[in-house]
Amino acid sequence: MACYSLDDTRIRELEQRFLRYARIDTQSDEAAASVPSTEKQWDLLRLLQQELQALGAMDVMLTDYGCLFATAPATIANEGAKTVAFLAHVDTAPAFNGAHVMPIVHRQYDGKPLVLPDDPTQVLTIENDPLLKDKLGEDIITASGATLLGADDKSGIAVIMTLVDYLLSHPEIPHGAVRLCFTVDEEIGKGVTHLDLGTLAADVAYTLDGGEAGEVTYETFSGDRAVVKIKGVSTHTGTAKGKMVNALNLAAKLIDRLPQNSATPETTEGREGFIHVYRAHGSAAEAEVHFILRDFELEGLRAHGQRVCEAAQQLQREEPRATITCTITPQYRNMRYWLEKDMLPVELAMQAIEQCGLRPIIRPIRGGTDGAGLTERGLPTPNLFTGMQNSHGPLEWISVQDMVKSVQVCLELVQLWAEGVH
């Protein structure tokens, strides 16, 4: 079985899809209670729904919660053929400006610094970004300097749409039913909350939400959230002496007592976990401090939670007039705990990657994916590369040729799952 190649027309279609999706603002909002968290995510969902119908995909369905499903029907009658699902998320990260994205295609990248026009201090260079060295002659897409690009995860969507288009127009490729599912609110950790596995009806799934070409991931962080609530004693400032207990001062103390030069995102890498304070708000009367806790091992995760709650309890002992609570909420779990029991989804992905002439890179994700939640619920869902780099910031970039490789790998993968020997 040789890796299928995409002709120029298909490559340009893939690129145009990506540019079209990237220009649509789909930023999610952690503070919103609605589903999806932002109305604008419907803009892309509805466009994708129309495009899928125009391509002739089957079972196109958009749920009230913003899950968009479709099928490329099986081309073989082999009962052993598994149903494979591919997932990507429509939302972009709230971490950086995601409105008015102006993607720029840098054709046949020549290795010179890429200066982003809307903010010339944003420059991509081979020195700072060694992966660019392998991209000479390729077409690199960036944003214009003022926004993120949103390759995370519009590249995944463009890859899956191109895959489905290819499968629908090549019925001679042997495969079982291929399902696709686009989700909302992945970046705020709610991507698969409303995804019904019965509706998805897949035996195995892959998220297209990874980086370097060749990358396949079956390990994510395990993540919890910690919220410390502080209720002080509020009085008139003129007569506060000996009475007022300022919640903001207590919040500052709490943050100060937690690690800042170690065990934070900015001081850890590889398999190290962290405590990340990411939001604090309130008044002298009441304040809240929000943390995310991350670790590859549950033991480490528990220790991070304990550290936050012990600091809160210590503060409470020192200031009994305040009321301080610490609540830990589980978010997601390392998918390795489930996948290591049956590595076939990962092994076939690696085989597909090799068949397309790439070297498989097994890399744990220092974050979560929609796949972590799905795997925990019983649907094995490793993550595959699309080529995206520097996600969530102004220097985000992606190579069109890497997205092409991602499509090729998925084409191999659906055939491997169709062989029915598994």
Just list the catalytic residues. 91, 186
- From 97-105, 145-153, 354-362, 374-382, span contacting Zn ion (CB under 5 A): 145-153
> Rounded to a whole number, what is the distance in angstroms from the first to the last CA of the chain?
17
Least Å distance, CB 157 to Zn ion, is 11
- Angle (nearest 5°) at CA 89 between 273 and 136: 80
Residue 152 near Zn ion by CB under 5 A? yes
Q: How far apart are CA 29 and CA 95, in angstroms?
A: 10
Eight-class DSSP state of 92 = B
Site size for Zn ion, by CB under 5 A?
A: 3
The tokens describing 27, both together, are 């930023």
Residue 224 near Zn ion by CB under 5 A? no
- From 35-43, 152-160, 233-241, 331-339, span contacting Zn ion (CB under 5 A): 152-160
Least Å distance, CB 365 to Zn ion, is 10
In the shown chain, the binding pattern of residues 155 to 194 toward Zn ion, with x for contact by CB under 5 A and - for none, equals ----------------------------------------
DSSP bridge partners of 286: 231
Amino acid, res. 254: L
Least Å distance, CB 396 to Zn ion, is 11
- From 12-20, 203-211, 255-263, 342-350, span contacting Zn ion (CB under 5 A): 203-211
- From 55-63, 71-79, 207-215, 348-356, span contacting Zn ion (CB under 5 A): 207-215
Q: How far apart are CA 304 and CA 309, in angstroms?
A: 9
Residue 396 near Zn ion by CB under 5 A? no
Q: How far apart are CA 396 and CA 108, in angstroms?
A: 18
384: Cβ contacts below 8 Å, ≥ 6 apart: 206, 207, 208, 209, 210, 215, 216, 217, 349, 406, 409, 410
Q: Which is nearer to Zn ion, 21 or 109 (CB)?
A: 21
10 Å CB burial of residue 167 (0-12, 13-18, 19+) is buried
State which of residues 51, 209, 215, 295 lies at the interface with Zn ion (CB under 5 A). 209
Q: How far apart are CA 125 and CA 134, in angstroms?
A: 12
Least Å distance, CB 40 to Zn ion, is 17
Q: Is residue 156 within 8 Å of 89, Cβ to Cβ?
A: yes
Specify the DSSP element, H or E, that contains 120. none
Q: Which is nearer to Zn ion, 311 or 372 (CB)?
A: 372
State which of residues 153, 165, 370, 396 lies at the interface with Zn ion (CB under 5 A). 153
Q: Which is nearer to Zn ion, 152 or 412 (CB)?
A: 152
Residues that bind Zn ion (CB under 5 A): 152-153, 209
